[in-house]
């Protein structure tokens, strides 16, 4: 089943494939999400709960 993607995404994926860098896609996605969260002013927080 095919999915539709934008021309930009299609071009980017084809570029990664041509340069044999598609294995870097998870790292690129992680870096993009960190960048986006920073631009949106969001921070990641952890919560620890004490129980008896």
Question: What pLDDT is stored for residue 18 in this prediction?
Answer: 98
Domain coverage including residue 27: 1-46+48-52
CA angle 6, 8, 42 (to 5 degrees): 90
pLDDT at 10 over 90: yes
> pLDDT category, 4, cuts 50, 70, 90?
very high
Count structural domains, the chain. Answer: 1
pLDDT at 43 over 90: no
- Please, is 22 exposed, middle or buried when counting C-beta atoms within 10 Å of its C-beta (0-12, 13-18, 19+)? middle
* pLDDT tens per residue across span 23-41: 999 999 999 999 999 999 9
pLDDT at 52 over 90: no
- The percent of residues in the chain predicted with pLDDT above 70, rounded, is 100
């Amino acid at each position: 089943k095919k999915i539709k993607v934008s021309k930009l995404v299609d071009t980017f994926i084809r570029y990664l494939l041509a340069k044999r860098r598609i294995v870097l896609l998870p790292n690129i996605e992680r870096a993009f999400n960190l960048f986006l969260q920073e631009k949106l002013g969001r921070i990641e927080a952890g919560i620890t709960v004490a129980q008896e």
